[in-house]
Amino acid sequence: MNRFIVRLVMQSHLSNGRSISNGHVCSSAIVGRSLELSGQHNVVTLVRFEWRRMMSSTPASVENASSGREEKMKNSVTEETKGKDSSALSYWGISRPKITRADGTDWPWNCFMPWETYSAELSIDLKKRHVPKNFVDKFAFRTVKLLRLPTDIFFQRRYGSRAMMLETVAAVPGMVGGMLLHLKSLRKFQQSGGWIKALLEEAENERMHLMTMVELVKPKWYERLLVLTVQGVFFNAFFVLYVLSPKLAHRIVGYLEEEAIHSYTEYLKDIESGAIENVAAPAIAIDYWRLPKDARLKEVITVIRADEAHHRDVNHFASDIHFAGKELKDAPAPLDYH
């Protein structure tokens, strides 16, 4: 009985196979033979194999042609994108549009955009000081004076290296304060009064000071190691301080900025006296502060000093808000106030 069923199925299968292709005839014959030898159990297997063959009824020639077309399309896309900037390509199709300067030349920086540049406001009062009035102010003032001692001993009058170290520290408070205010805003579902953006702007501005100074100084290996150490200690210490007392943290930053103004003023004196060569301004500084193309180091230090004066005002202002018993969100932040 089993042999009779197998014979019928084989005949039907072979007749269908001839109308399709010789390859299918051979495969059908092989299946039928194996079933004739193995008996009833494999009848079910025959049905499964036959079903699979019928489900994949596309001729091999068609499948190969389709595969060939896909490969051809892939190669054409590769040829089309060949020679393009690989950084502009993305799996998600997100790419940076072409950006140019006002004169039509390509914008070379990816760390800041043309609309983030500005002309420094140089009329700010550089001699303004915050007089310590209470215990917190005096503690902040003396802490900053104490922190300055090792810097004076290590760098002495190497103001380029001193400025580089100063900026690696100065760029930390804005980021820490902005981050903590951001988290507070998320926890309490409240606005920040613009202070998150103001503090992050400060951190970004200080970072650009550092990028400029690195172009001028070319720090040595031991100076880089010192930066790693100082940043690791200062970030964690300032983080804890800001959590415990934001008003003290901002007051310390205000006094740090006052010291920065003093250091850059001494830097300018050495440039004017000829002790430090008044070299050409780095290209990154010319684009960031919209300086003249022939700007020199003196102009760069002048605009950086003005920035530090603005940061001094912002942080003393933030501390005064806390001393008044209010939160930063209660007073509008001085946005775009470098």
pLDDT of 33: 43
User: Quick one: 157 exposed, middle or buried, by C-beta within 10 A (0-12, 13-18, 19+)?
Assistant: exposed
Token pair 């172009």 is found at: 215
pLDDT of 164: 82
10-residue block means of pLDDT along the chain (338 residues)?
Answer: 51 48 41 42 42 44 50 48 51 78 85 88 92 94 89 76 84 96 94 93 94 86 84 93 96 95 92 92 94 95 95 96 93 79
Give the number of other CB atoms < 10 A from CB of residue 277: 9
For residue 260, give every residue at least 6 positions away whose Cβ sits within 8 Å of its Cβ, in sequence order, or none. Answer: 166, 170, 305, 308, 312
pLDDT of 22: 44
C-alpha distance from residue 158 to each of 152, 165, 276 (Å): 9, 11, 9
The residue among 76, 146, 121 whose CA lies nearest residue 290 is 121
The answer to whether 243 and 179 are in contact (CB under 8 A) is no
pLDDT of 47: 42
pLDDT of 90: 62
The residue among 172, 171, 167 whose CA lies nearest residue 267 is 167
What single DSSP character describes residue 56? T
pLDDT of 216: 87
Q: Is 279 helix (H, G, I), strand (E, B) or coil?
A: coil
What are the phi and psi torsion angles at 158 (to 5°)? -85, 80
Cα–Cα distance for residue pair 317/254, rounded to 1 Å: 9
pLDDT of 148: 84
pTM summary value: 0.71
Q: Is 100 helix (H, G, I), strand (E, B) or coil?
A: strand
CA atoms within 13 A on the CB side of 57: 8
